[in-house]
Amino acid sequence: MCLYRTLSKCVSSEDLTPLKYEEYSLEGTFVTLFYKYSRTAAGNDFFFWYRQDTAQRPEFLQSISGGVYKSDPINTGISVKLNGEKKRVDLEISSAEVTDSALYYCAQNLYIHRSAITLGPPA
């Protein structure tokens, strides 16, 4: 048996809420973890999934922006997607293993600010 756990305290935004705080699954099964978003995701909304083993630092798994429905997989067997209304962000594990047992959480960054500086000769 595998244990997947999400914990709302780890979320830095009041806009994200896990639909289940714990998920139990058997090895080899398909597992989906869900976070509900309080509004419709826009192109400048970014979501980041992390996993944390006991006594370890969080490990980045994958991210997705509000402008797409499914991200390109970084890790084999793991994918991230937004539902059709863009009000839920899902982490899918295609074939669960005992080593997948960990704390999983999703963080959200509403805006990414960029600044550009152009240098030229003095006037």
CA distance readout (Å), 123 to 32, 35, 119, 120: 59, 53, 11, 9
Query: Exposed, middle or buried: residue 56 (CB in 10 Å: 0-12, 13-18, 19+)?
Result: exposed
Q: Per-residue confidence at 70, pLDDT binned at 50, 70, 90?
A: confident
pTM of the entire predicted model: 0.74
Residue that wins the pLDDT comparison between 97 and 115 = 97
User: What local confidence, expressed as pLDDT, does residue 88 receive?
Assistant: 92
Q: Which fold has domain 2-109?
A: Immunoglobulin-like (2.60.40)
Tell me 8's DSSP state.
G
Residue that wins the pLDDT comparison between 121 and 70 = 70
> Lowest-confidence range among 1-10, 33-42, 72-81?
1-10
Which backbone phi and psi does 10 adopt, to 5 degrees?
A: -80, -10
Residue type, 38: S
Domain borders along the chain are 2-109
